[in-house]
Structure 1
Amino acid sequence: MSLRFLGAAGTVTGSRYLVQYRERRLLVDCGLFQGLKQLRLRNWAPFPVPPGTIDAVVLTHAHLDHSGYLPRLVEEGFRGVVHVTPGTGDLLPILLRDAGRLQEEDARYANRHGFSKHSPALPLYTEAQAMRALERVRPRPFDRVFEPLPGLMAKFSHAGHIVGAASLHLATEAGSITFSGDLGRTDDPVMRPPACAEQADLIVVESTYGNRRHATAPTDGELAEVISRTAARGGTTLIPAFAVGRAQAVLHALLRLKAAGRIPDLPIYLNSPMAIQAGRLLEPHADELRLSEPERRDLAEKVRYIRTEEESRALNAPAFPSIIVAASGMATGGRVLHHLKALAPHPEHAIVFVGHQAAGTRGASLVAGADAVRLHGQWVPVRAQVCAIEGMSSHADQAQLLDWLSTLQRRPAHVFVTHGEPESSDALRQAIEERFGWSASVPEHLDTVAWPPAL
């Protein structure tokens, strides 16, 4: 058995791991690279192995940095089954179709306005191609063993993070591997905590927040303060948020603050068709959530959902202070870009980031203090207040990642630290070695590991 790191090695994006067993190939996650241009170019490069030689795919969850390359993989020759949890199976049509549609729209916009370096600009894949890829998806229940390749047994366990998110355990007679997937927080207000880690020879653990600890004090006060100050000066608060997971958590926090009288009675808008669709899946998967039935009902009834482009454009010239939650969370695409273009030049407004901002994204640039940001081919000045509230992330922090590893009943042969910026991954590697005395390393892109190792 061998493990090859085709993505999420030295970066927090592009999750892709190739497991080879008895001449057959299983791809664990099939994510898009996002952020820095040299990473995004990997989406357009030939896949490291011919897609037609991959026998099956298993996805740990639906976020695009774990699933978003799937339509391209199918177009390039993959013909196997894609194994997912039921929640991921419900979310994938929303995310992948939206991704294809946005790429088509971006390509048309670039061609119409002539700001692309390519003539013509093309989408990585289309909505129709995304729909064809979805035909290969097969849901598998949590905590039930299935066989994606002959002789290779797999099992999903709950990872928290978002609906459907899973850790993955693979076992053969030659050895075993556990992939953490993206682990949620033990104290997440929306999702239940991750299950214990499955024992394995090799552990692959994410490190998005591997060098940080979330604030022990609630972050609601910080959010309330920003919104109240912004409203007092007549401004609107724009909150970029990932459509699946964070948008629902942010709305829940805003409704709590409003009910407690800690923020003014402002209209709360959700401007993301994808987030609106994802919100409808909370009820069918309520067993994965901490939210009560009244809290889920409030999310459905007390938020103003923006569905049309006309409604979206109207928010760019607010007649009174309001709160807008819009995707994407790193300001890499979606309707939030149009709101940034309209609101960022004006000092009365505020832009509040509530999740990790990968290197090279607009979100990272804004949080770092950029005085201008490039949007739709032009530079837009940034005079609005910009702040980041890290404590609202849906990822486990260093302490919670270590606690998850501590649930292993015996020492693994090796731990691979992935899915993090270099400083974050190396900090978690060092923490693992210091706390447990285990062998741990940060793999590089395209590294291959054989198990058991050759004598």
Structure 2
Amino acid sequence: MLTIKFLGATGTVTGSKYLLRSGDEQVLVDCGLFQGYKQLRLRNWEAFPVPPDSISGVVLTHAHLDHSGFLPVLVSAGFRGKVYCTEATRDLCRILLPDSGRLLEEEALYANRHNFSKHKPALPLYSEADALRALEHLQVVPVGHEFSPAPGMVARLQLAGHILGAASVSVRCAGRTVMFSGDVGRPNDPIMRPPTVLGKCDYLVVESTYGDRRHDASDPSGKLADIISKTAARGGVTVIPSFAVGRAQELLYEIWKLKESGAIPAALPIYLNSPMAVDATRLYIKHQGQHRLDERSCHALGHVAHIVNSVEESMALNRRQVPMVIIAASGMATGGRVLHHLKSFAGDSRNTILFAGFQAAGTRGARMLAGETSVKIHGEYYPVRARVELIGNLSAHADADEILGWLSHSSATPRQVFVTHGEPAAADALRLRIAEQLQWPCRVPDYLEQVVLE
């Protein structure tokens, strides 16, 4: 009997984890952190729904923390198998996971030093050392090649666009094929190549981050130039919370083009305050076959911004009350160095806080875009007087039309489609469109629901 259990990414865009079980063999597809609302984040601390040492293998779709960031916890709890992924995903995980562990440790130390945590002492979910141990389990598999994550299961990865190394995963077992979309990229993304055409499958698990909307068809670079230029003219600072992988590189590319064309002042200082974003940017040269950028553009990514290497340099930026652009992680303002910049710059009406892409419910980004006049950071409330802007169509996720376009190339109708990785309204909207336009049986699963794949 083949079953699938939904251990995350149900009713939310975070915590992606899907457990396939056949007899005594279990394979986990994705191993992501829950983010956003506190009741979601608390799931990261709960006992794992199945004994980690009973899982034969893990397959990662890509390196973003909502898909990979729980690996150190799983390994610390007893998982001993291999974690299969593309080479670029391996390379990015080597950057993202240790950095995540360091940030969690720094946040716990900061909470203890300033005594704002309810826990005595505050502890990190995992440490940098835990993350480094988890990396030892990574096993690179070539794109398009078959491999066995567990006896009786045969899997294959195909590129999905979105970010470097991102893949969809097909798993064949007991005469049935289950496809996991991962995060689906855009067909006309300025940097990433389009996702590989969806093949035939019996069951499909598809993401729905933008399942209820279309990306704005206008050129995002025009809005980016307008926001940066007007902020600088006011004498203000543009702070851009950004994911270190994917979003940061697209922002750097767009800003480089704007400077080249004269759309923003050539002398305006640009700061990239994310060490892992710097490391990730270098990988675009190594994996040039996966994206559209030529060598000159890749070089520009690494040189258009001043690199902030140390905590001291980061703190010094907060004292510079002059026009500039600061790009810093994290993309939804849930942690990282950008929080210190928000504390320094959100209270000044000359400044702009610019979000570039989806903000999950319950995150600081979502609350600021909703118009909250103060934001809680490190146990204290800080006023928000800066302009808060959003450029939604810089997203690396396919929108609803683009997902439908990707699905429509399937050569056969799946027996069942499961819509996951979306807020409730987005997931249900995509479910309805798939059912009505493609005539495919489709449903939205619940958290911890288990389904027999007949």
Distance 1:302 1:439 in 2: 48
Distance 2:411 2:199 in 1: 9
Q: 1:23 offset after TM fit, Å?
A: 1.4
The match for 1:308 is 310
The match for 2:43 is 42
SS at match of 2:186: coil
Maintained 8 Å contact 1:236/1:318: no
The match for 1:188 is 189
Q: 1:319 offset after TM fit, Å?
A: 4.5
Q: Please give the residue correspondences for 1:255-274 in structure 2 after superposition, counting only pairs within 5 Å.
A: 255-265=256-266, 266-274=268-276
Distance 2:13 2:4 in 1: 19
The match for 1:112 is 113
Q: Deviations over 1:18-50 (max 9, x none)?
A: 000131000000000000001000000101111
SS at match of 2:401: helix
SS at match of 2:155: strand
The match for 1:420 is 422
Distance 1:22 1:200 in 2: 21
SS at match of 1:282: helix
The match for 2:79 is 78
State which drifts further: 88-97 or 314-323.
314-323
Distance 2:62 2:158 in 1: 11
The match for 1:235 is 236
1:400 maps to 2:402: yes
TM-score, structure 1 as length reference: 0.98
Maintained 8 Å contact 1:15/1:30: yes
Distance 1:286 1:100 in 2: 28
Distance 2:80 2:209 in 1: 32
Residue in structure 1 matching 2:378, options 355, 376, 379:
376
1:93 maps to 2:69: no
Distance 2:133 2:174 in 1: 35
Distance 1:257 1:4 in 2: 46
Q: Cα RMSD over matched residues?
A: 0.8
Distance 1:158 1:302 in 2: 28
Residue in structure 2 matching 1:332, options 331, 334, 339:
334
Q: 1:317 offset after TM fit, Å?
A: 2.1
The match for 1:59 is 60
Q: 1:150 offset after TM fit, Å?
A: 1.4
Distance 1:151 1:47 in 2: 24
Q: Deviations over 1:140-186 (max 9, x none)?
A: 11111111111211000000011110000111233110000001111
Identity among equivalent positions (%) equals 55
State which drifts further: 25-34 or 311-320.
311-320
Distance 1:130 1:216 in 2: 40
Distance 2:128 2:303 in 1: 30
Q: 1:95 offset after TM fit, Å?
A: 0.7
Q: Deviations over 1:197-216 (max 9, x none)?
A: 12110000000000010111
The match for 2:252 is 251
Maintained 8 Å contact 2:237/2:321: no
Letter in structure 2 aligned against 1:421: E
Residue in structure 2 matching 1:351, options 338, 353, 360:
353
The match for 2:388 is 386
Distance 1:68 1:58 in 2: 13
State which drifts further: 373-382 or 293-302.
293-302
SS at match of 2:333: coil
Q: Deviations over 1:362-417 (max 9, x none)?
A: 00001111100011111000000001110111100001100111110011101100
SS at match of 2:239: strand
Distance 2:440 2:419 in 1: 12
Distance 1:332 1:31 in 2: 15
Q: 1:245 offset after TM fit, Å?
A: 0.6
Q: Deviations over 1:57-111 (max 9, x none)?
A: 0110000000001010011111111101100110111111011111111111111
The match for 1:283 is 285
SS at match of 2:405: helix
Maintained 8 Å contact 2:278/2:302: no
Runs (5+) with no aligned partner, structure 2: none
Distance 1:246 1:121 in 2: 31
The match for 1:299 is 301
Letter in structure 2 aligned against 1:380: Y
Structure 1's consecutive aligned runs of 4 or more residues displaced over 4 angstroms after TM superposition are none
Distance 1:114 1:310 in 2: 22
SS at match of 1:93: helix
SS at match of 2:388: strand
Q: Deviations over 1:403-451 (max 9, x none)?
A: 1111100111011000000000000000101111110000000111112
Q: 1:303 offset after TM fit, Å?
A: 1.7
Q: 1:301 offset after TM fit, Å?
A: 2.2
Maintained 8 Å contact 2:252/2:304: no
The match for 2:445 is 443
TM-score, structure 2 as length reference: 0.99
Distance 1:305 1:139 in 2: 30
The match for 1:367 is 369
Maintained 8 Å contact 1:170/1:178: yes
Distance 2:370 2:197 in 1: 36
Maintained 8 Å contact 2:236/2:321: no
Distance 1:176 1:58 in 2: 15
Letter in structure 1 aligned against 2:407: L
Q: 1:5 offset after TM fit, Å?
A: 0.3
Maintained 8 Å contact 2:84/2:139: yes
The match for 2:30 is 29
The match for 1:200 is 201
Distance 1:403 1:253 in 2: 26
1:128 maps to 2:132: no
Letter in structure 1 aligned against 2:361: A
Maintained 8 Å contact 1:88/1:163: yes
Distance 2:174 2:114 in 1: 57
Maintained 8 Å contact 1:169/1:198: no
